[in-house]
Amino acid sequence: MARVVVDVMLKPEILDPQGQAVQRALPRLGYEGISDVRQGKRFELEVEGPVDDDALARIHQLAETFLANTVIEDFTVRVEEREEVTPA
């Protein structure tokens, strides 16, 4: 079982009110030095079987068709190397 991550972000030229709201709140909250914030979506897909070129191509197509609105969003597809999760 492998994990494939699809990140979907608004294109740079598209206004991002969510990200802007976060960015404008930061100085008030005591965090300086962050000049821009963009907010997007992250999909984690658990894939059965090997993630070969064929499987990645299908997931790419899936992301393009269903997960992202390619008129206003860009996306990336990648096989995830396991990252350290901060237990909270």
Q: Which residues bind a copy of itself (CB under 8 A)?
A: 1, 7, 9, 19, 22, 25-26, 29, 31, 33-49, 55, 58, 60, 62, 64-68, 70, 73-78, 83-88
CB of 46 to a copy of itself, least distance (A): 4
Place of tokens 């979506």: 41
CB of 83 to a copy of itself, least distance (A): 5
The residue among 1 and 15 lying less far from a copy of itself, judged by its C-beta, is 1
Closest to 41 (Cα-Cα) out of 65, 13, 63: 63
Q: What is the 3-state secondary structure (H, E, C) of 52-76?
A: CHHHHHHHHHHHHHHHCCCCCEEEE
- At 32 the three-state DSSP class reads coil
The residue among 53 and 84 lying less far from a copy of itself, judged by its C-beta, is 84
**Spatial distance between the Cα atoms of 87 and 52, rounded to a whole number of angstroms:** 31
CB of 51 to a copy of itself, least distance (A): 10
